[in-house]
Amino acid sequence: MHEFSLAIEVINLAGREVEKRGTRKIHEITIEVGDLSGVEADAFESALGLLVRDSILDQAHVKILRTPGTGNCLSCQSDFEMSHRMATCPVCSCFPSEIRGGTEFRVVSLVVD
């Protein structure tokens, strides 16, 4: 359950941006959570929902973008969607694959005053 630490990181990060830019209000924050990032998007969203009270994100609309995991098979070089890190290649059933996407965990954008 590191999602609470990560939610605090997001609030701190948003706070630093607001301070840097001299704005006061954040209307919206968009966060990308990859399916292979090691972060449970639902748990993270719940944690953030609880922690934003009285923070800079209190009034902000939180948008979570989920990015599917993608991999490239090391045996047959097929690209495929990976639902988890242990996924085998759907073409040749081989494992492992190189993870090419879905590890993102970042603040994409803010909408401020």
Partner 1 sequence: MCETCGCGDAGQFKVHDLNHKHPHNDQEADHGHPHDHAHGHSHDHTHPHDHSHGHSHPHDHDHGTVINLNVDILSENNKLAQLNRRYFAGRKVLCLNLVSSPGSGKTTILEKTIKALIPTRKLAVIEGDQQTFLDADRIEKSGAPAIQINTGSGCHLDARMVELATEKLEIEFGSILFIENVGNLVCPALFDLGESKRVVVISTTEGEDKPLKYPYMFQSSHLCLINKSDLLPYVDFDVEKAIGYARSLNPQLEFILVSAKTGEGLDQWYDWLANQK
Interface ranges with partner 1 (CB under 8 A): 1-2, 4-6, 8-10, 12-13, 17, 21, 23, 25, 27-28, 31, 38-39, 47, 50-51, 85-86, 95-96, 105-113
Question: What's the rounded Cα separation, in Å, for the pair 97 and 75?
Answer: 8
Token pair of 54, please? 């009285």
Report, in Å, the least distance between residue 113 CB and partner 1. 5
Helix (H, G, I), strand (E, B) or coil at 75: coil
Between 27 and 90, CB nearer to partner 1: 27
Report, in Å, the least distance between residue 66 CB and partner 1. 15
SS3 for 36-47 is CCCCCHHHHHHH
Report, in Å, the least distance between residue 70 CB and partner 1. 16
Between 76 and 108, CB nearer to partner 1: 108
Cis, peptide link before residue 90, omega less than 30° from 0: no
